[in-house]
Amino acid sequence: MSVTFAKGFSAAGVAAGISSIEGKKDLALVVNQGPLDSAAGVFTFNRFCAAPVQWSRKTVADGHIKAVVLNSGGANACTGQAGYEQSAATAKKVAELVGTQPDEIAVCSTGLIGELLPLDHVLSGVESAYAALSDDDQAGSDASHAIMTTDTKPKTVSLEGDGYRIGGMVKGSGMIAPQLATMLCVITTDAAVGAGQLQAALNAAVDHSFNRIDVDGCMSTNDTVLLLASGASDVEPDPDEFNALVAKACASLARQIIGDGEGASHDVRITVTGATTESAALACARAVAASNLLKCAIAGNDPNWGRIVSSLGTVPVEEAPYDSQKVTVDVNGVRICENGGAGRDRSEVDMTPREVHIDIDLNAGDEQATVWTDDLTHEYVHINADYES
């Protein structure tokens, strides 16, 4: 199940000849058939944000989107006015087919930075995708495949509320750090929800999911997360239940990104407890997640607690007050750091499972936060030494 799980949405994924990989599906189209066209969005903070991000920020600003067109095979980032005009032309083509205005079409791109898209392939691909639109499971699956780049598998979610549904898809595998990831995400719901409620739900969900994963510490130029509501179920959901389901959908998709990190052999959950504030716990967890030394150690099945505490120690005291001589660190249930010093021998830690759990207790308060990351392997270097979209 994917974006077509929610009623009122049709989708398609086609091979348009954008990607350098011959025959790969590389253009997806998602159309909201209504009766509502409520929309919310969250985008990258990168100052070199891509042309489609610039375009889509404007289109979603009024809380209404009729359709989203997404391509892999090219990021259309750092391409200046010509790149922006490509996004505008793509939106215009979709709008003509759907029967609306270009400013009601969101555009998303992912792939290599610095090159214009083959616009003729994009526009012909839009026509092919429109002709293939369907609301069945296969159409949703095709769309989720079309947005993949270095992903090894599609990432989707489907959830049911009280009389309504939420579906979604995301791509993302590398260039992933706090403040989103190299990701394109479309989440759909057939609940009858206005744009304001959608935006509030999405902001909260993203903050605790996509903004708390880190594969390689690199922020993308193209990150886009869209939440669309068709109202086709005619159900006005309980706000708390709806917010919780949107959060659950984002958490599932974010976790799937970590599970497909480029070349990763371990998924690493870092939980910091005993902090004075949640922001303090999050700062500490992010500092540990950002350590390439630690990621490499974990790739070698080495639970090197010295690399954990040294990263923890980089967080300024005014941001996260704690006494280093009271800190404990457990890795996969083994306390290898006790009161800021050596605990049990790290050879006791079983590092064979895919998941590695690092639990840090600052013993300074009652707040906590969790960040997910991956290890860094030789395969990660191989993938990114010769990147093709």
Catalytic residues: 182
Residues with Cβ within 8 Å of 114's Cβ and at least 6 positions away in sequence, in order, are 75, 77, 78, 79
Q: How far apart are CA 211 and CA 147, in angstroms?
A: 20
How does strand 334-338 pair with strand 341-342? Answer: antiparallel
CB atoms under 10 Å from CB of 59, counted, come to: 22
Q: How far apart are CA 389 and CA 378, in angstroms?
A: 20
Amino acid at the residue 255: R
Residues 329, 311: contact at Cβ < 8 Å? no
**Residue 176, Cα to own-chain centre: how many angstroms?**
8
Nearest-10 Cα torsion for 298, 300, 301, 304: -60
Q: Which neighbouring-strand residues pair with 331?
A: 334, 358
CB contact burial 103-131 (16+ within 10 A = b; e otherwise): bbbbbbbbbebebebbbebbbbbbbebbe
Per the document, the length of the chain is 389
Instruction: Please choose, from the candidates 146, 141, 112, 111, the residue with its C-alpha nearest in 3D space to the C-alpha of residue 128.
Output: 146
Strand ranges (DSSP E) for the chain? Answer: 9-14, 27-32, 38-43, 67-71, 105-109, 155-160, 165-171, 184-189, 213-214, 224-229, 267-275, 328-331, 334-338, 341-342, 355-361, 367-374
Nearest-10 Cα torsion for 137, 140, 146, 148: -100
Residues 25, 145: contact at Cβ < 8 Å? yes
